[in-house]
Amino acid sequence: MSHMHGHLTIIAVYSPTEEASVPYKDDIFNQLTALSSATPPHDQLVILGEFNASCAFGRRGFESVVGLYGVWDVNDNTQGFQIMCSSKDLNIMGSCLKRLDIHRHTCLSNDSHTKKGIDHI
């Protein structure tokens, strides 16, 4: 897709859930890293989707990737997601914006207590 500053590359992702095997999840993040590496460096790159990864609390070492306002729980997919973003110099934008909790959570369970932010841009 072209825009006034050049080309825009959009990658849509649906990552495996926490129940998937570690090698399978690693393979998905490796494929995503390879796909984003194939994007010309002058293109604007946007990766969005359901990463099934929480972020923010585990931001130590990923301060340039994860902002201060993410969801404060982490899961098994968090590290792979943050490593992939760090390797491509990407920011997890939802964690950079101060919002009310009601707008921060993208997954609400039927028990009315479990809330997660697992969809990211």
Tens of pLDDT along 46-105? 888 877 776 655 577 888 888 777 666 677 777 788 888 888 888 887 777 777 766 666
| CA–CA dist 112, 4 (Å, integer) | 44
What would the pLDDT profile of 19-50 be if each residue is shown by its tens digit?
Answer: 889 899 888 888 888 988 898 888 888 888 87
User: Which one is predicted more confidently, 4 or 8?
Assistant: 8
The pLDDT of 5-18, averaged and rounded, is 83
What is the pLDDT confidence band of residue 14, given thresholds at 50, 70 and 90? Answer: confident
Query: What residue segments make up the domains of the chain, in order of their start?
Result: 2-120
Q: So what's the pLDDT on residue 3? A: 63
**3 state DSSP class of 100:** coil
Asked if residues 117 and 52 have their Cβ atoms less than 8 Å apart, the reply is no
pLDDT in tens, 103-113: 666 666 677 66
* Cα gap 13→11, rounded to integer Å: 6
Q: What integer pLDDT is reported at residue 73 of this predicted model?
A: 66
Contact between 15 and 51 (Cβ < 8 Å): yes
Sheet of 2-3, strand order: 2-3, 6-14, 44-50, 119-120
Mean of all residue pLDDT scores within the chain: 77
Helical (H) or strand (E) element with 35: helix 22-37
